[in-house]
């Protein structure tokens, strides 16, 4: 983990309220794996004081760190104003990422809303022979461009809640359909998105004996296990215990989520 001085290379609108930002790390290498994140400084003043967590959405061929983010509050609104040359600090890589070798035959990636961010990186790195990418959004305007996803090696299926693009309904329905032809022991599901969606994904996978990893979000102050702000109750074998989303996650086994 390093705190790297980073400079904005570009920061462009790619969907409604959603930006793709590339950060030049000045020659520093960020040895991140899919599912890991960075804590970004979003201002030079004490407001907002705390850094914000963002998944690594990719590291491109030039070594630029890619962040895909949605504007939801003060910090992300400030970020959306950044142009090329603006400097920030990126602390990372943090947390535990996805196990990219889980799907021996098929990997099914389930993205809900801005939860797509870490899954873009995952789709580039995944080892499985067949990769099905299920991309869900509330409406067409919130869908990211196809060009942001890997150009080869994935089968993309889209859903929107309002039916304005792709399947009309929840992305979890696409998951159920994809699992009808999959061999459970050779398939793995990877998901990131809103909590109710993740709960649903974990349930579907559990009922079909399919391995599943989910990336969770939590309010984070430090990102390194020091403030206890991101504690989450999880299952550990037959018992329940607490885990830190920032250190023990953000990726967890779907079975461990209560």
Ligand X SMILES: Cc1cc2nc3c(=O)[nH]c(=O)nc-3n(C[C@H](O)[C@H](O)[C@H](O)COP(=O)(O)OP(=O)(O)OC[C@H]3O[C@@H](n4cnc5c(N)ncnc54)[C@H](O)[C@@H]3O)c2cc1C
How many of the other CB atoms lie within 10 Å of CB of 256?
20
Binding site for ligand X (CB under 6 A): 37, 48, 52-55, 68-70, 72-76, 114, 117, 217-218, 220, 250
Nearest-10 Cα torsion for 111, 115, 121, 123: 0
| Pick 59 or 114: Cβ nearer ligand X | 114
Binding site for ligand FES (CB under 6 A): 220-223, 225-230, 244, 246
Which residue's Cβ has the minimum distance to ligand X?
73
- Report what 37 binds from ligand FES, ligand X, none; CB cut-off 5-8 Å by kind: ligand X
Ranges of H-type helices in 104-148:
116-125
- Report what 150 binds from ligand FES, ligand X, none; CB cut-off 5-8 Å by kind: none
Q: Write down the residue that tokens 């859903």 correspond to.
A: 159
Which phi-psi region, left, alpha or beta, contains residue 170 (left: φ > 0; alpha: ψ -120 to 50)? Answer: beta
Label each residue of 118-168 as H, E or C: HHHHHHHHCCCCEEEEEEEECCHHHCCCHHHCCCCCCEEEEEECCCCCCEE
- Report what 100 binds from ligand X, ligand FES, none; CB cut-off 5-8 Å by kind: none
Supply 185's token pair: 């022991």
| Pick 40 or 182: Cβ nearer ligand X | 40
Q: How far apart are CB 225 and ligand FES at their closest, in Å?
A: 5
| Pick 14 or 218: Cβ nearer ligand X | 218
Q: How far apart are CB 245 and ligand X at their closest, in Å?
A: 6
Of 109, 137, 102, the closest CA to residue 201 belongs to: 109
The H or E element that residue 77 is part of is helix 74-80
Of 116, 5, 8, 121, the closest CA to residue 70 belongs to: 116
Sign for the CA dihedral angle at 142, 16, 95, 66 comes to: positive
Q: How far apart are CB 217 and ligand FES at their closest, in Å?
A: 11
- Report what 58 binds from ligand FES, ligand X, none; CB cut-off 5-8 Å by kind: none
- Report what 221 binds from ligand FES, ligand X, none; CB cut-off 5-8 Å by kind: ligand FES
- 153 CB-near residues (< 8 Å, 6+ apart): 131
- Report what 228 binds from ligand X, ligand FES, none; CB cut-off 5-8 Å by kind: ligand FES
């Amino acid at each position: 983990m390093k705190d790297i001085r980073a400079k904005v290379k570009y920061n462009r609108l790619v969907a409604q309220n959603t930006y793709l930002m590339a950060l030049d790390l000045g020659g520093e290498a960020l040895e991140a794996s899919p599912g890991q994140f960075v804590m970004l400084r979003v201002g030079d003043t004490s407001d907002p004081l705390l850094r914000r967590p963002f998944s690594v959405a990719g590291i491109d061929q030039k070594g630029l760190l890619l962040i895909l983010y949605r504007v939801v509050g003060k910090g992300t609104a400030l970020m959306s104003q950044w142009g090329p040359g603006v400097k920030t600090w990126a602390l990372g890589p943090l947390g535990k990422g996805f196990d990219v070798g889980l799907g021996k035959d098929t990997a099914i990636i389930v993205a809900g809303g801005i939860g797509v961010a870490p899954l873009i990186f995952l789709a580039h790195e995944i080892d499985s022979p067949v990769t099905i990418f299920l991309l869900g959004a509330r409406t067409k305007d919130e869908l990211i461009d196809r060009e942001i996803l890997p150009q080869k090696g994935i089968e993309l299926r889209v859903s929107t809640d309002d039916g304005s693009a792709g399947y009309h309904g929840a992305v979890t329905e696409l998951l159920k359909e994809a699992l009808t032809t999959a061999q459970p022991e050779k398939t793995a599901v990877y998901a990131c998105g809103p909590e109710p969606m993740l709960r649903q994904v974990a349930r579907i996978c559990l009922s079909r004996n399919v391995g599943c990893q989910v990336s969770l979000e939590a309010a984070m102050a430090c990102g390194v296990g020091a403030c206890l702000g991101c504690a989450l109750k999880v299952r550990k074998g037959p018992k329940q215990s607490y885990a830190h989303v920032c250190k023990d996650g953000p990726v967890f086994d779907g079975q461990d989520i209560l």
